[in-house]
Structure 1
Amino acid sequence: MENKKMNIVFFPHSVNYGLAGTNRLQNIIYFLKKEGAGTVANIALVDEPIVPGNENPPFLTDYKEIAYGPSVFNFLKHIFQTGFHLYKFRKKDSRNLIYFYGEVDIKNFFFVTWGRMLGYRVVIDIVEDLEAIQKFKSFKNKLKYKSAIFFRKRLDRYADGFTVVSSHLEKKIRLNFPDRPVFFLPVTINKYLLDDHPDGRPAKPLTIFYSGSFNEKDGLPYLLGAAGELKQAGYAFRILLSGKGTDAEMQAFREIVQRAGLEEQVRYLGFLDRDEYIRILSSAADVLCMTRINSAYANAGFPFKLGEFLATGKPVIASTVGDVPKYLSADDAYLVAPESIAEIRAALIAIVSDPKKAVQVGLNGKRAAMKYFDHENYAGPLKEFFEKQINS
């Protein structure tokens, strides 16, 4: 048993397509393979088919994308497909582990139960405080989260261990499940996959970059409000925005841009693939913005994009939510109070007015990113954590 390698099945989030969660999982996989941890598979449950031809990504041993929508037939079919592939991807000559990213809810709890019956150990990655969510996008979304809260209180029935992304979540999980081991895994970066850029002063006109969701928690209206005041003061700049939102969120975004008179300054890039996203970070952007609001939900987690923003060595504007002040000082980033248009505006003006200092702040931020968020620092201990759960 001791000589057997691990076989880790990432489930149910796609490691091949997505936003922050996908990047987190890809970092874990990259370094697990670098550590020689064994084989890695992914069963991705998606609304509708995404990957053309359902091809196996090169960094995975096995891959299966299973659509549970949009039809009832697909939903029923995905139950049998998922159960079958959990059985198929299990390796008799290995120690099998499910790494569960997402929420155990009414749609998937039986798959976790089935996996445990097949002999898998289960580690669940906790990245959100579900009880802090106050608003829901739809009745379907509300049902999903309410069921997830029900199962969150009973996760010791499904999990052999946990990874957590913030100190708030670590404290909460340890309190609720004292007999389950917890591994603190903050947002991480893969320095080998990030492009270096020549250190230089912010360009004129300044290019401001925002990436993420367009919902309330990420505070985009405050960034746009600050940009509107910057324009009125006569500053030249442009704003590049990437990510996605619901139809209602995108309509609200367009209305804010129009009210602020930023139609000429704002360019919406849509959802970027990984290569294009890195290119924008590395070459097109001068200042990177993370402007989360002061909500219980925002303070409970941690903004995934912040690590990569800092790793570029460019100046970063970051709101002081959650664990951010634990890692960064005013020497490492332009820290602003959440929901403060005035402080975001002042930070942007400071970057334009003192480009030499902006360069130094960016370099300090990069050093902080390498110190706290370099996944290589966590790779060995995380592999050992997985091995302990399998052997316990």
Structure 2
Amino acid sequence: MKDNEGQGNGYILYVGGYLDEAVVDERKLPTRNPAGSNRMSRIGSAFCAAGKETIILSPAISMRTGFSPKLIFPQRVTRTNRVSVIFSRAFSVPVLGALSSFIFVPLLLLNICSRRNIEALVIYNFSPLLLLVALIGRYVLKLPVLHNVEDVSEPRVSDWKSNSDARPLQQLVFYFCMSWINRVASGAICPTSRFTPYLRDGIPVEVVTGCIDAQLDAGEFESSSARKGVCILFAGKIENEHGIDIFVGALKILAQGGLLGGDVRIDICGGGKHSEWAESAAEELVGLGVHFHGFVSDSTYRQLLNRANICVALQQPQGRYGSFKTPSKVYEYLGNGKTVIATDVGDLADLPGDVIHICRTPDAQVLADVLKSYIQAPDLVDKQCIAARGFSLKHFSLEKVGARLVGFMNLYARS
């Protein structure tokens, strides 16, 4: 990047935990963060599509970073779709690496802002480091701040029970960070209207559900007859919270009814605490076209997605996660022209019935009945695939979303 390049045109500086495969391998990070990275790439690309060049600044470090012979991981510059990405320097030592980000990231922030005309600072989610960045941006650099809230943290007394899956101390820290970034921000960007009650009173909110790249999400449509059958994909966290138990239960019911095998293929990919259980269950059905791939690379995931014509997203709608998380991958599925079966989370139930099937009772038998109806009527699969793609292009394109985001920024971030 050249000094003072773009001084006549404002940039969006988007700060958060974006990761790619290369930096994960280099820094031995414990997670790829595919959902968050994908979302940042798409939101950043939407700003670009609306004429606002966007730079992602990522710490790319973790308390659990692996040891490396390097003393310091160097700063690295790359791209994702239309967006420039800068990975900050960090010490290559567990714990110390994460602590060093409180020095390296603010220094990089100040450096970028001294060389670019930054119009707004967008903070992706929340953490102590991101709170520091928001405070520097708002009170030192005098930048307008937008808070992109993709999850919600709310501490509860039940978090401290021994059988709770929540991390109580983390919930407290993240709630504090989320609340204070909200106070600093001029506005919030959320994936669902269900988040608004947990944000600062009176903060303006722009709800961005889907955000698709018409070229990236352009898998060629093939009818079920051309594919010679139906291919069903379960991708994401292999955890009961995300419905893997319900999905495997439905597959067993379909197998008992003689509906698996032949022209029906099942692909399961992802990682999580129930991976071993899911892999063992899949092995029992491998002769019936059920394949467990584990955690896969971006390119392999893309191949699996292109092959599928039905995708399921079965996040539990009950409890805290029904309100505090939303599966953005559903909109990716729709943009790729897939028949989608999902639970009633986020704003998915607001979509037209011919675009998505909402499974309001997350139960193995109910899901099996829905899958059976599609397996036995491939023309229905084709019809819903076409409707999903058309609706997504009309409502969730980068250009449409980008125009809304820039309008929101102009209205609130500069007021």
TM (norm. structure 2) is 0.80
Distance 1:140 1:230, change over 3 A: closer
Alignment match, 2:18: 14
Alignment match, 2:343: 319
Count of equivalent residues: 379
Alignment match, 2:385: 362
| Aligned equivalents of 1:322, 1:61: Cα separation in 2 | 29
Residue number among 39, 43, 48 corresponding to 2:58 in the alignment: 43
Distance 1:204 1:340, change over 3 A: farther
The question of 1:151 aligning with 2:172 is answered no
Distance 1:132 1:294, change over 3 A: farther
Alignment match, 2:189: 163
Distance 1:93 1:71, change over 3 A: closer
1:316-355 to structure 2, matched below 5 A, reads: 316-329=340-353, 331-355=354-378
Distance 1:72 1:132, change over 3 A: closer
Alignment match, 2:266: 239
Instruction: Tell me the SS of whatever aligns to 1:357.
Output: helix
Amino acid at match of 1:225: G
Alignment match, 2:120: 97
Distance 1:307 1:95, change over 3 A: same
Alignment match, 1:254: 279
Alignment match, 1:110: 132
Residue number among 213, 216, 225 corresponding to 1:190 in the alignment: 213
Alignment match, 2:101: 78
Distance 1:109 1:68, change over 3 A: farther
| Aligned equivalents of 2:116, 2:341: Cα separation in 1 | 49
Q: Please say if residues 227 and 345 of structure 1, whose CA atoms lie closer than 8 Å, have aligned partners that are also in contact.
A: yes
| Aligned equivalents of 1:250, 1:268: Cα separation in 2 | 9
Q: Deviations over 1:96-135 (max 9, x none)?
A: 42211122x3454223222322333221111223228876
Amino acid at match of 1:269: H
Q: Deviations over 1:28-87 (max 9, x none)?
A: 22232233213524233322389x975411344561244577524323322211121111
Q: Please say if residues 11 and 116 of structure 2, whose CA atoms lie closer than 8 Å, have aligned partners that are also in contact.
A: no
Q: Please say if residues 208 and 288 of structure 1, whose CA atoms lie closer than 8 Å, have aligned partners that are also in contact.
A: yes
Residue number among 41, 57, 61 corresponding to 2:78 in the alignment: 57
Q: Please say if residues 207 and 285 of structure 1, whose CA atoms lie closer than 8 Å, have aligned partners that are also in contact.
A: yes
Q: Deviations over 1:126-178 (max 9, x none)?
A: 122322887699999442222111333344432222111111113543xx321
Amino acid at match of 2:342: A
Amino acid at match of 1:11: V
Q: Please say if residues 146 and 413 of structure 2, whose CA atoms lie closer than 8 Å, have aligned partners that are also in contact.
A: no
| Aligned equivalents of 2:297, 2:145: Cα separation in 1 | 30
Q: Please say if residues 45 and 68 of structure 1, whose CA atoms lie closer than 8 Å, have aligned partners that are also in contact.
A: no
1:206-245 to structure 2, matched below 5 A, reads: 206-235=230-259, 236=261, 237-245=264-272
| Aligned equivalents of 1:205, 1:273: Cα separation in 2 | 25
Percentage identity across paired residues of the two chains: 19
Residue number among 309, 317, 322 corresponding to 1:298 in the alignment: 322
Root mean square deviation of aligned Cα:
3.1
Amino acid at match of 2:41: Q
Shift of 1:289: 0.9
TM (norm. structure 1) is 0.85
The question of 1:308 aligning with 2:332 is answered yes
Distance 1:109 1:313, change over 3 A: closer
Q: Please say if residues 46 and 211 of structure 2, whose CA atoms lie closer than 8 Å, have aligned partners that are also in contact.
A: no
Instruction: Tell me the SS of whatever aligns to 1:244.
Output: coil
| Aligned equivalents of 1:389, 1:91: Cα separation in 2 | 24
Instruction: Tell me the SS of whatever aligns to 2:224.
Output: coil
| Aligned equivalents of 1:150, 1:53: Cα separation in 2 | 31
Shift of 1:348: 1.4
Instruction: Tell me the SS of whatever aligns to 1:189.
Output: coil
Distance 1:4 1:169, change over 3 A: farther
Shift of 1:349: 1.0
